[in-house]
């Protein structure tokens, strides 16, 4: 008498077949082209910070329209690295 596969094995096989099919159907999000030199940056909001901690209100780029803005990212800030 042939041995019946366990339900766990059947579920694993079905999942292995379904995952690649789901990935193939997922559309890739549209990529925004890079900005041209001198172009206006799109508005965005970020949490602002000082050496004492985060600001209570987020910072919006549109608040500085018409002024020169320099963005600085310190990716190892407040870490041991």
Cα–Cα nearest to 59, from 43, 71, 67, 47: 47
Domain boundaries, the chain: 44-81
What is the tens place of the pLDDT at every residue in 31-81? 878 889 888 888 999 888 888 888 899 999 999 988 988 888 877 776 776
How far apart are the C-alpha atoms of 59 and 7, rounded to whole Å? 54
H helices, E strands: number in the chain = 1, 4
pLDDT of residue 3: 55
CA dihedral (37, 39, 40, 43) positive or negative: negative
pLDDT of residue 53: 86
Confidence of residue 7 (pLDDT cuts 50, 70, 90): low
pLDDT at 4: 55
Residue 22: the pLDDT is: 53
């Amino acid at each position: 008498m042939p041995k019946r596969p366990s339900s766990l094995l059947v579920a694993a096989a079905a999942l292995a077949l379904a995952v690649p099919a789901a990935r193939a159907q997922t559309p890739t999000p549209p990529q925004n082209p890079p900005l041209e030199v001198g172009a206006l940056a799109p508005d965005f909001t970020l949490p602002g910070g000082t050496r004492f901690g985060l600001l209570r209100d987020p910072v919006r780029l549109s608040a500085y329209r018409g002024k020169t803005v320099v963005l600085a990212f310190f990716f190892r800030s407040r870490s041991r690295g």
